[in-house]
């Protein structure tokens, strides 16, 4: 049933999509105070590994990956399976087409530029972009 809720969330328009993500197990600090754009793809392996804070804007076609599970064809190698949380703290913006990798924390007021591949934590007020995402500056208060 979880996979059906994730699938529906991935294809339904905002604001309906986030409610299907919640039914599947994604944790929200306040579901009414966030925006998730269309065609996000949330990993259906274990949606409870994702936490989304308040005043968060997740743009169009963001890929959320919470696990790595290599196939049996490489079982003789040292590559191990794992699953890790993705935490999006308050007041974060994630640009369209970004990829959020397992085990990251997007800290308060961070800004992820369009198309970024986030493989490590993003500090408060940091602006990151690229593959892998690198700091390019800081957000400033008005």
Are 72 and 93 in contact, with CB atoms under 8 Å apart?
A: no
Confidence of residue 125 (pLDDT cuts 50, 70, 90): very high
Closest by CA position to 98, among listed 124, 129, 135: 129
pTM score, whole prediction: 0.92
Q: Is the model's pLDDT at 78 over the cut of 80?
A: no
Report the alpha-carbon distance of residue 136 to residue 131 in Å, rounded.
13
Task: Indicate the DSSP class of residue 120.
Answer: S
Find where tokens 């990956």 sit.
65
Which are the contacts of 23, defined by CB distance < 8 A and separation ≥ 6? 5
Are 96 and 115 in contact, with CB atoms under 8 Å apart?
A: yes
Are 55 and 34 in contact, with CB atoms under 8 Å apart?
A: yes
Report the alpha-carbon distance of residue 86 to residue 92 in Å, rounded.
13
Tens of pLDDT, residue by residue over 7-65, are: 888 888 999 999 999 999 999 999 999 999 999 999 988 999 999 999 999 999 999 99
């Amino acid at each position: 049933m979880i996979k059906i809720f994730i699938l529906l969330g991935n294809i339904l328009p905002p604001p309906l999509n986030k409610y299907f993500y919640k039914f599947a197990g994604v944790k929200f600090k306040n579901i009414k105070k966030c925006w998730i754009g269309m065609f996000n793809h949330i990993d259906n392996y274990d949606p409870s590994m994702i936490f989304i804070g308040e005043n968060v804007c997740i743009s169009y076609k963001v890929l959320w990956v919470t696990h790595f599970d290599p196939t049996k064809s490489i079982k003789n190698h040292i590559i191990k399976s794992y699953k890790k949380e993705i935490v999006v703290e308050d007041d974060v913006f994630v640009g369209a087409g970004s990829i959020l990798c397992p085990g990251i924390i997007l800290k308060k007021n961070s800004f992820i530029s369009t198309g970024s591949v986030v493989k490590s934590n993003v500090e408060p007020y940091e602006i990151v972009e690229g593959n892998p995402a690198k700091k390019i500056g800081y957000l400033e208060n008005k």
